[in-house]
Structure 1
C-alpha cells in the first residue's frame, strides 16, 4: 500500500526516466503526478514539438507509478493515446495518472498530460498485468 512507498530525491531510479528528466511531484493510493520538461533537441521531433514517444513514455510512467502505489508490480499490456495538441519548448508538462480498475491480475489506469497553462496535450488509458507485489520498502518507488 501507499505507506510502503517513499519519495527519495523526487524521482524514480530508472535510467530512461532520468534521461527524459521526469520527476515525481506527488503520489497517493492509486494516483501519481509527474512532470517532464519539453527541451529543444532532446524531447522534440523535426517540427520542434514534443515527440510522441516522449509523451507516450511520460504517460506510461505516470500510470505505472499510480499502479505501483497499490503495492503491485505491473507491466504494460496495452496503451491507447490521444494526442490533442502539440507542446513546444520550453515547456514543462504535468501528467496526472490514476488507477480506475484495481484487479487481482490486471489494472487499468488513465492519465491526462497538460502544459503549464492547463491545456490538454494528451489523454491516455492503459491496461497493466500484475507480475508480483512489492514486499519491502527497499523495492518501493521513489
Structure 2
C-alpha cells in the first residue's frame, strides 16, 4: 500500500502576511490614537490638579529645584492644557529625541519630559534640573499614569 504524501497533507491555506500585518499595525495605531486623545482630553480637564501633583513629585524626587513652586505649577498647567491644541507633527517633533526612552511610552509623559529638559530648565524660577532623561520621565509618568487608560 503505497501512500502518496500529497494525499495525506491537507491543502495549506495561503495567508497574505502583509495584509494581516497591516491590519494588526492599523489596529495598534487606532488604539494608540484613541489612548492619546483620551489622555490629552484628561490632561486638559485635570490640568490644575495634575500640575500640582507633577511639580510636587519633581520636587520630592529632587528632579527640579525652584524658588517659586507656584510659578512652576502655572507653567506646567499651561503645558497640560496646550497639548490638546497642538498639531501632531509638533508633538512628535518635540518628543523625537527621547521617543525610544522606554518601551510603550506615555506620549504626554514624553512630551513633558522633553519640555522639562529643553524649556523649563531655562525658566527664571528654576534653579536647576537634576537626573537623566529616564529619571525625569519616570517621575513625570508616575503622576500621569493616573490618566492613562488601562
Q: TM-score, normalised by structure 1?
A: 0.29
Q: Which structure has the higher relative contact order (CA within 8 Å, separation 6+)?
A: 2
Which structure shows the bigger proportion of residues in helix conformation? 2
